[in-house]
Amino acid sequence: MKLLKHLTLAVAIACSFASVSPAMAAGKIENATAAQVKEAVEAAITSSEQALLGMQNDANQEVVLQHITSARQESKRIEVGRLDVKRNQGSAKLKDARTAVTKGEKDKAIALLTDAVKIYQEIKAAL
């Protein structure tokens, strides 16, 4: 009887875990199409370039930070396995640029944003 209780409990727990798909738990419904990936790359490039121009033209810090945040959000939609390393590098450059902007390090932010734009353009060329 005790063995039956343990077996029933184990089956119930296994069924409850199996009923929830990891992809659905994360909120992802389907993979992005090639057109959606290209659109995301274009948006990331545009936002990065706008942030770079803002830094070069001494724009408001909040506006530059919004462009950087937008570029990072768009880069998350780039779903191509072979380009994940490049996408992560670009996102890291944007993160470092955001830190530099908040600290007031203009030259460092410009250099990092320039690198991010180059990385996203390489991703665009590889598609």
4 vs 106 pLDDT, higher one: 106
**Residue 98: Cβ-neighbour burial (10 angstroms; 0-12, 13-18, 19+):** buried
Residue 59 confidence (pLDDT): 85
- Looking at every residue in the chain, the average pLDDT score rounds to 84
CATH class of the region 32-126: mainly alpha
58 vs 32 pLDDT, higher one: 58
Domain boundaries defined on the chain: 32-126
Q: What are the tens digits of pLDDT across the range 33-54? A: 788 889 999 999 999 999 999 9
Residue 35 confidence (pLDDT): 85
DSSP letter (8 states) at residue 27: T
Residue 83 confidence (pLDDT): 85
CB distance 91 to 70 below 8 Å: no
